[in-house]
Amino acid sequence: METEAPRKAGTSPVIVAVGLLVFCGFVAVSFPVILKQSKAADRTTAISGLKFIGACLIEFDTEYGGFPDDKTALEVKKATKTDFTLTGTYSNDYFRQMLAGGGGKSEKPFWCRTAQSPKRCDDDFSTPVRALAAGEVGYSYIMASPTQGLSANGEPSCPVVVAPSYQFRADWTFDPEPYAAKMVALRIDNSAAAMTIDDDRKVHTNAGKTLEETGEGTPWGTKITPFLRAPRPR
């Protein structure tokens, strides 16, 4: 009489399917939480970078009488003999003044994670081409005019460094994605905080005006027309 060979132990297709469904359900539930935590961590890192930049700006102001601008670029060139590009279209250009002439010992604080700067900088500023190259800066820089910088003696609540500018555009719009609908800002008084980005990609002050608006009830008052320089994209 023939006997039936015992079946090899294995995993039922039904069990596999159920396991996959459970796993997919877990991922679907946990992913939004993980993404939110990741954005919060990136925002915290960006604020930490702002505080370092703030310390560099204060040191630079003490040395050169104001924050980086076209005039201080000439003074930095004269004092350091650097061949870095220190003025131009982008925030990178003006931030290089701090690398060359005061306070900045690393490229790292000038980087923060945005859609246009997803990878950390290489921290190599040994040559003009490599110093704060395109994509290595995540912050925009605010000046009092296209050629004149702000200073430590200005209105304490005026923002001077902000992120993340939408698509690295210099039109005062901000990207709500990287930091969960928040923009981070460094003020002249060296305080750093997050502000809400509204549906129009603008940031509004307590007076209901956009961040760039001037006049009574704004940080800028009536004598300054702020000029924003966005980072240079790759």
Note the pLDDT tens digit of each residue in 71-119. Answer: 999 999 999 999 999 999 999 999 999 999 866 689 999 999 999 999 9
For 194, the token pair is 């997050």
Half-sphere exposure of 189 (CA within 13 A, CB side): 7
pLDDT, residue 28, reads 53
Closest CA relative to residue 67, chosen from 181, 184, 76 = 76
Sign of CA dihedral 100, 106, 107, 112: negative
63 exposure class (CB count in 10 Å sphere: 0-12, 13-18, 19+): middle
pTM: 0.84
Non-local (6+) Cβ contacts of 147 within 8 A are 69, 70, 71
